[in-house]
Amino acid sequence: MRNSSMLKRSDALVEARRCLGCFESPCTQACPAHVDIPGFIKRLREDNIEGAGDIIYVSCPLSYVCGLACPTPDLCEGACTLNKLGQTPIRIGALQAYVANNYEFPENINDNGKRKAVAVIGAGPSGLGCAIQLRRMGFEVEVFEKSNSIGGLVDRVIPSHRLPSSVIIRDVNRLKEAGIKFHLRVEIDEENAKILLDDFDAIFIGTGLSSDKEYWVEGMENGVEGILSALDYLEHARKYEEGVADLPQLGNQVIVIGGGNVALDAAILAKRLGSEQVIVLYRRSKDEMPGWESEYLEAASLGVEFRWLSSVNAVTIEKKKLQSVTVQRMKFTESQKGGRRWVEPDLEVPIYQFPCDSLIYALGQELDSAIADYLGIKTLDKQKIQVDPSSFQTSVPKIFAAGEAVSGGSTIVNSMSQGMIAGRSIGRWLLEG
């Protein structure tokens, strides 16, 4: 668990007084949103919530969400000067969440004198970052989201004990009060894409990576009890934690495949929700694991086991129910792919069977490239949307894109910040046009 305990006023003031107000502020440099951390902590120390909130929200419009859900030990808190002095770093995430929970002041919306409107596709972090940046610049903004909630994967799969819905709602309400209009359950098909192209002066794509990569190994069948994607499991578990669904039944022996944060979150939740043995299998070694160190440490402290250089190459199913997985040892090769050492099965090590009740796979998500096709923009092998890296403009001048649909994977705060930068770029393009 990272930042989830909410500070009381007295604790927040005491914590703020520990801050050294470093001139170079390595904490701010490590923050993808570049929040002026010593600046807001100084206002907080003076018990000036308005001043502290003004500083945070200008750089981070999802301040409450980021305060609780950011991997702060790997970002600002990891860079805090107090670490080098042998002291506990400032609890920056918890202080930010405290300010966000108590800040009641609305967004500052400028009037640019133009009646131009922007359609934002996707209500995840990049879409929301872009939308508020454009509203601040005085443009009309309408957000189109295919699901029935605002926040994207933030609202679907981050465990509720870390990020309750009430926190997301508070940040989202600020955006609604700023005049952003939301249209939920709207699929951007060919017809809707044409309507957006005709009706709006610019379009921003912030859909993220919304499709699960398919998983198939020897012995697999469709509709098997006990084999599920990590996103489906996390969505169900979040609903359970929020009291609107039954406990997901995984059984006592659970295998999780993958080394990213989604895999680690699934393993953590499986353990927290009662499974006795939870084992993460990762094809590479700990050094290559893309998940955050803070997530790994939380999982390990709960008793989640890790088996490196291990992969499932077959499953055994009886009567549509998973019985066991066959584990294959992997080994590194000389070649590299995507900057990482490549692996292949180590045929000298015998495979072994591991009886289990559930197999959760977290192999990442991929771009739903149909929207790009409908809007007529170029992609890189249908994996990412192609943009100019400085302006986030796509191959069609009035369409921009940012976030995971462009980067291929990111954090909430990175996607939100990219969306804000793209929003400024769209605003400049509209004002000059």
Nearer to ligand SF4, 90 or 343 (CB): 90
Shortest Cβ 98–ligand SF4 spacing (Å): 14
Nearer to ligand SF4, 35 or 118 (CB): 35
CA–CA–CA angle 246, 249, 254 (5° rounding): 145
Shortest Cβ 83–ligand SF4 spacing (Å): 8
**Residues numbered 394-433 forming contacts with ligand SF4, rule: CB under 6 A:** none
Nearer to ligand SF4, 89 or 260 (CB): 89
The sign of the torsion formed by the CA atoms of 178, 180, 181, 186 equals negative
**Burial class of residue 396, CB neighbours in 10 A (0-12, 13-18, 19+):** middle
- d(C-alpha 36, C-alpha 28), whole Å: 6
Binding track over 83-112 against ligand SF4, x by CB under 6 A: -------x-x--------------------
Residue type, 408: G
Choose among 147, 169, 160, 126: nearest CA to 32. 126
- Region binding ligand SF4 by CB under 6 A among candidate stretches 37-45, 111-119, 193-201, 223-231: 37-45
Residue type, 387: V
Shortest Cβ 298–ligand SF4 spacing (Å): 22
Shortest Cβ 72–ligand SF4 spacing (Å): 10
- Region binding ligand SF4 by CB under 6 A among candidate stretches 75-83, 257-265, 266-274, 330-338: 75-83
Shortest Cβ 3–ligand SF4 spacing (Å): 14
Q: How many residues in the shown chain lie near ligand SF4 by CB under 6 A?
A: 15
- d(C-alpha 42, C-alpha 387), whole Å: 39
> What are the DSSP calls for 346-365, one per residue?
-TTSPPEEEE-SEEEE---E
119 has which bridge partners?
Answer: 142, 203
Choose among 192, 186, 205, 175: nearest CA to 145. 186
In this chain, which of 3, 7, 38, 123 binds ligand SF4, going by CB under 6 A? 38
- d(C-alpha 205, C-alpha 214), whole Å: 24
Question: What are the CA-CA distances from residue 316 to residues 186, 270, 286 (Å)?
Answer: 40, 21, 28
**Residues numbered 7-36 forming contacts with ligand SF4, rule: CB under 6 A:** 19-22, 25-27
Nearer to ligand SF4, 6 or 82 (CB): 82
Q: Verify binding: residue 81, ligand SF4, rule CB under 6 A.
A: yes
Shortest Cβ 38–ligand SF4 spacing (Å): 4
Nearer to ligand SF4, 41 or 228 (CB): 41
In this chain, which of 75, 80, 205, 405 binds ligand SF4, going by CB under 6 A? 80
Tokens standing for residue 329: 């040892």
In the complex, the residues that contact ligand SF4 under the rule CB under 6 A are 19-22, 25-27, 37-38, 41, 80-82, 90, 92
